[in-house]
Structure formats: structure tokens, C-alpha cells
Amino acid sequence: MPRYFTLHQAQELLPVVEAEFRQALHVKRQLDGAASELSGYSKHLLLAGGAVVDQRKFLLLRSRRDALARRLKEMLQAIQERGCQVKDLELGLVDFPTIYRGKEVCLCWRLGEPEIAHWHETDEGYRGRKPIDQDFLNHHRGDAPA
């Protein structure tokens, strides 16, 4: 069963989620670099016909890539275990499920925004973001403990 947040609950959690998200983004960039380095080395091996194989280097590169991939997966899982939904790591999008007028919707935050100021229907995504207005404030609810 998903967790539903009030705007206040989501705002209180935001500094923790933002810090974890920034760390995950840093690990993602490291992973991209490690994957690129491994790919380049693999191409070099292929072009060399395997004649000059430094198997230790290959195994080290692959091990580093795999460790970073596991670390990133764990970091994203930790964010999601808080009840948040990481929608796009590169764009920095995180949703916080909530209930508005009896329907599940999402409070929407993008990395770099100082606070959560938008929401969208679950099937609309980022492009369907709407500003949080007084009607939303009066008619949304969460179920998570305060």
C-alpha cells in the first residue's frame, strides 16, 4: 500500500530526500564514467584481437562499474522506501503521492526548486504540473504519521 503525504509532511521530508537524491546523482555520474571506461577498454580489446589483454584491469573496471550500479540501486531504493517516487534521476524529478478530492495524485518536486509547489495527476507526469492553490491545500490529505 503506498504512503500518502500531506504537503507539510512532504516539505518536512524534502531536505533529506534532496540530500539523498544529490548523492544518488553523483553516484550515477560516477557509474556513467565507469561504464564508459569499461566500454572503451572492451572495444580496445576487441580491436586488438585480445592479443594484449590485461585481464586484471578489465576485471577491476567491471567490478567498479558493478559496485557503483549496486550502490545507486540501494540509494534509489532508500528514497523510495520513504514513500517517494523517483521519476527521473537526470531531470531530478521526485513525486510524493497524496490524495486530492478522493483521487490519488502526486506532489511534484524537481531538483533545484526550493520547495514543493506543484502537483499533477498520476497519468500526467511532469508536463501536467499545476501550481498548488488554496483549493488543493483545503482538499488534499495524506495517511502518513506526522
Among residues of the chain, what percentage have pLDDT more than 90?
77
Residue with more model confidence, 117 or 46: 117
> Is 76 a residue whose pLDDT tops 70?
yes
The string of DSSP codes covering 79-112 is: HHHTT-EEEETTTTEEEEEEEETTEEEEEEEETT
- pLDDT confidence band for 139 (50 / 70 / 90): very high
**Per-residue CA distances from 111 to 21, 32, 42, 86 (Å):** 8, 20, 35, 11
**Which conformational region is residue 84 in: left (phi greater than 0), alpha (psi within -120 to 50 degrees), or beta?**
beta
What pLDDT score does 20 carry? 97
Give the confidence band of 43 by pLDDT, cuts at 50, 70, 90: confident
Instruction: Return the percentage of the chain with pLDDT > 70, whole number.
Output: 92
pLDDT on residue 102 = 94
Average pLDDT for 60-85: 96
Which of 24-33, 63-72, 115-124, 135-144 has the lowest average pLDDT? 135-144
Mean pLDDT over each residue of the chain, to the nearest integer: 91
pTM reported for the whole predicted model: 0.85
For the stretch 80-125, pLDDT in tens is: 999 999 999 999 999 999 999 999 999 999 999 999 999 999 999 8
Please tell me the predicted confidence (pLDDT) of residue 144. 56
